[in-house]
Homo-oligomer: A and B are copies of this chain.
Amino acid sequence: MPLYGGIEGGGTKFVCAIGTGPDDIRAEIRFDTGAPAETLAQVATFFSEHQALGPLSAVGIASFGPIDPDPTSARFGYVTTTPKPGWAHTDFAGAVHSMLRVPVGFDTDVNVAALGEHRWGAARELDTFVYLTVGTGIGGGAMANGALIHGVMHPEMGHIRVPHDLALDPYPGHCPYHGDCLEGLCCGPAIEERWGVPSENLAPDHPAWELEARYLASGVMNFLLTLAPQRIIMGGGVMHQQQLFPMIRRYVLELLNGYLQAERVIADIDNYILPPGLGDRAGVLGAIALAEGVHRCELPALDRAGV
């Protein structure tokens, strides 16, 4: 039976795992993201220390971005223009391929999490859905017609524009590029700046959450109407605040206002907007699913044939 490696390479932490799926993870490690050389050395050490588990058939990488996910590009597998110190223009997938010598799949953290949810989580048997993460930033991955969306570069759903109620909420927004885009209004740091305390210290009935839910509902509304997803999965640190889900659902219903074209969404809203089936493990398990897809020749990879 093939064995896979998965790497969730986040901007703040890395998770590496070896296994075949959620019920069969044979080794796992997590560590803080440092400079590329040091971090990639930790990745190499993990896989090398677990060689006794058997040879890997493929590895999947869920990478923080921006990245080049285009398999026809010379820069496929690179982290590109990130402000993260040392990481700009790093050949992430190439480095992993050099150390492990197996085909390496590579995509955005959110697209890979979407893949994990499709394989084992809340998006099984769907072909068009959105996976959103709301945490330090806001990102979205999506599948349409059974394949992850890339297009020109990759989606950057966190940066869409939504109505900002300046009378109620004069906070200018956290995004250095767009000020009060969705991420600028709703990411974890925006909550902290607006209310003066880290979001996890706010009581579940603090008015911060109603405001947060209102803005997130505008984002959900826009993704719903643009992609017609069969489901919208919302994960990430901020969404650990479970009280957000019923509020977001209520605001989305308010915004839809009985719009007939959305009748299937309206009729089953509790089952339409929901947390990831894999919880916080969507990323690393998605990386295993990506490796599996690569091994089955269903998804592109760096050097499929090995060197």
Where the two chains meet, the residues of A that have a C-beta atom closer than 8 Å to any C-beta of B are 65-66, 80-81, 127-129, 140, 142, 144-145, 147, 149-164, 177-178, 218, 221-223, 225-230, 255-265
Contacts and interface: CB of A to CB of B under 8 A. Distances in A.
A76 to B, nearest CB: 15
A177 B259 contact: yes
A156 B265 CA distance: 13
Nearest to A167: B166
Contact of A262 (B128, B153, B227, B261): B153
Nearest to A128: B151
B153 A145 contact: no
A218 B128 contact: no
Each complex incorporates copies of this chain amounting to: 2
Given A128-B151, A226-B227, A228-B154, A218 B161 contact: yes
Contacts of A145: 144-145, 147, 149-150
A155 B225 contact: yes
Contacts of A149: 128, 144-145, 227-228
A129 B157 CA distance: 16
Contacts of A177: 256-259
B159 A228 contact: no
A152 B127 CA distance: 10
Contacts of A155: 225-228
Given A227-B151, A229-B152, A263 B81 contact: yes
Contacts of A218: 161
15 contacts: A66-B260, A80-B260, A129-B151, A140-B226, A142-B226, A152-B229, A152-B265, A156-B228, A158-B225, A159-B225, A160-B221, A163-B164, A178-B257, A178-B259, A226-B227
A144 B143 CA distance: 9
B81 A260 contact: yes
Contacts of A227: 142, 149, 151, 155, 226-227
B229 A151 contact: yes
B163 A163 contact: yes
A66 B263 CA distance: 11
A177 B155 CA distance: 28
A144 B151 contact: yes
Given A223-B226, A226-B140, A264 B162 contact: no
Given A152-B228, A228-B155, A255 B163 contact: no
Contacts of A222: 160-161, 222, 226
A66 B161 contact: no
A152 B221 contact: no
